A and B are shown apart, each in its own frame.
Chain A
Amino acid sequence: MTARTLAPWIGKRALGAVLTVLVASVLIYGALRLVPGDPVLAVTSGRRLTPDQITALRHAYGLDKGFAQGYLAWIGDALQLNLGRSLTYQTSVTSLIGSRLGVSGLLIAYSAVLAIAVGAGVALVSAVKGGLADRIATVAASLTTATPPFVAAIVLLSVFAVGLGWFPSTGAGSGLTDRLWHLTLPAVAMAIAAFGVLARVGNAAFADELGREHVTAARSRGVDGAALIRRHVVRNALGPLLTVIGVLVASLFVGTAVIETAFGLDGVGSLLVTSVSRRDFPVVQGIALFGVLLFVVVNTLVDLALPFIDPRVTVGGPRR
């Protein structure tokens, strides 16, 4: 792989990512136009607005213009981090999301670390040991994959918060240690389903590498134990694991909606839920755009990182 073949490939991937975000943003903007009747009346149902506010809203959504013009105005503002104003909070959507990003970001990072550490660890042990350990890990993985996050949340709440009283049941706490303590149960609840996926994919990747000829060859050369696992198994299995981690981290963002609601946390996820039920459309659009952007950026970065981690990954067809 040379820089000459790599650069066009990176360009192509980046272009694809931009295209995906653009089409998704048209969808997010266009959703408002799907509302039967007058979108502004539907969006503001149940709230009394002065005629001035309604005119301002029509203008803000670009409803006084055609679809293309309205979209261009909206996406132009969004590129300058102006996502409009919330209908219920009367503040800018960007600052609303920004003020809640800290809690959600820490929650996502915390649960990602838990899921990756435990999932990859269990996958490695079960692939190396095989037998009973492998069977237990397989059952645990399929049970946790099937556990809906809200079920995990209420079980953890009733056992560790209400029953044993080890952890608080609501709130995000203040200061780093207190916050981590408050976020432990929510992070575990989010990590449970992710753990199952990682354990499965990891196990398949590790077992696949263990059965390959280069591992047997290394064994016959006398490479054994930790060195064999680290240098010949884990390194080669990183590719598929990293791909799954990319999808998982991005999907954890959506998972915060359920978990933050269950544990009474003021994050982006719970903001999304309250905004959807109050039909606070600018906030919903803003968070949806942010979510899609996060998903695409994380997955594109993972894709771009693969050839650097594993030189065997070829870009754009077979290597010469």
Chain B
Amino acid sequence: MTLTIPALRARGAKRRRRRPLAVTLAIAFLLAAAATGALAPLLAPHSPDATSLLDSLAPPGTAGHLLGTDSTGRDVLSRLMYGARLSLLAPLGVVLLSGVLGTALGLLAARAGGWVDAVLSRLMDIVFAFPSLLLAMLVVAVFGPGLTAPICALAVSYTPFLGRVVRSVAIQEGARPYMESYRAMGFGELRTTVRHLLPNMTPVLLAQSALSFGYAMVDLASLSYLGLGVRPPAADWGSMISQAQSAILQGAPGSGLIPGVAVLLTVVSVNVLGEHIGGSIARRGEGT
């Protein structure tokens, strides 16, 4: 907080609990996934699109194909690395868009109050009643397969998650003495909100964004799994699983299970991270 006394903060830092193992593992996994995606051209042993029907459905551990191959003989490890790009960037886009929208609308509702608040809150309730995957499928029906339209649709769909939290925190914080004093000093409403209120809400925003990232990842991967998301030759983890469906029924599940585990671990990691941030907010709240 802006008004924390330095001595108190130092004592608090000493008492701070050690970072739990799960959180360290989660951060490590997310960094590793992001790095392999970014460095895929350097790290990938094969081209992600090089097919070889002779090598099709090689099990994991085969020489030259560490994680095996899919039904057209493409290297699963290389596809996993390249697939990390869209699989991670698309949910990030959703989180950033819904973050901006949710923060702006939440702050507006909290600071304006009155009928603006009433209308915005009602709108958020209405968006909330529209299941996110259903809205995403509706825009795919309109604009055709691809990721751009679903990313925008999901961003709208997740805006209430953040908007509601931002609104309630902004109302609480706005009533605190430091906001009163800034106002008394004659600072404008916009300036106090952006310069002083917003920075104090960063942990809440981060915690909520981490959870939204997990939801967005599952929704986008579901779309790709259903053949409504990324279009070939582009691939993400969801479309890899979709293409592995027939191989799974033939008893060679590797090429589908591996990207599935990648999605699962990413979602678990962001959830662990989000809960850790959320938990530290709660702990700090108890202290004051």
Contact = CB atoms under 8 A, between A and B. Distances in A.
Given A273-B226, A279-B144, A31 B139 contact: yes
Contacts of B125: 16, 20
The B contact surface, by secondary structure, is helix
A21 to B, nearest CB: 8
Contact of A155 (B137, B139, B144, B260): B260
Given A276-B140, A279-B141, A24 B248 contact: no
A299 B214 CA distance: 24
Given A142-B271, A148-B263, A157 B249 contact: yes
A92 interface: no
Contacts of B129: 20-21, 24, 292, 295-296, 299
A258 B214 contact: no
Contacts of A28: 138
Interface string B124-156: 011001110110011111111100000000000
A145 B272 CA distance: 11
Interface in A144-180: 145-151, 154-155, 157-158, 162-163, 169
Given A150-B225, A163-B251, A288 B134 contact: yes
What band does the interface of chain A fall in when counting residues whose beta carbon is under 8 Å from B?
35 or more
Contact of A258 (B139, B225, B272): B225
A54 interface: no
A16 B128 CA distance: 13
A162 B173 CA distance: 56
A157 B253 CA distance: 9
B222 A155 contact: no
A155 B226 contact: no
Interface string A246-278: 000011011001100110000000001101110
A295 B134 CA distance: 12
A27 interface: yes
Candidate in A28, A151, A281 with the most chain B CB atoms within 10 angstroms: A151
Given A142-B271, A251-B131, A291-B131, A275 B251 contact: no
Nearest to B259: A151
A34 interface: yes
Given A148-B218, A150-B241, A162-B251, A35 B142 contact: yes
A226 interface: no
Contact of A250 (B122, B131, B238, B250): B131
B221 A23 contact: no
Interface string B226-257: 11100000000010010011001111010011
B248 A288 contact: no
A210 to B, nearest CB: 20
B277 interface: no
B141 A275 contact: yes
B264 interface: yes
Candidate in B130, B222, B249 with the most chain A CB atoms within 10 angstroms: B130
B218 A257 contact: no
A162 B253 contact: yes
Contact of B134 (A142, A148, A254, A262): A254
B50 to A, nearest CB: 24
Contacts of B260: 148, 150-151, 154-155
Contact of B248 (A31, A142, A162): A162
Contacts of A23: 126
Contacts of B226: 257-258, 261, 273, 277
13 contacts: A19-B126, A31-B139, A146-B264, A148-B222, A151-B261, A155-B260, A162-B251, A254-B134, A257-B137, A262-B245, A276-B141, A292-B134, A295-B131
Interface of B: 122, 125-126, 129-131, 133-134, 137-145, 214, 218, 221-222, 225-228, 238, 241, 244-245, 248-251, 253, 256-257, 260-261, 263-264, 267-268, 271-272, 275
Given A150-B241, A279-B141, A288-B138, 15 more contacts: A16-B122, A20-B126, A31-B141, A150-B222, A151-B260, A151-B264, A154-B248, A154-B253, A158-B251, A254-B133, A257-B222, A258-B222, A273-B226, A291-B131, A292-B130
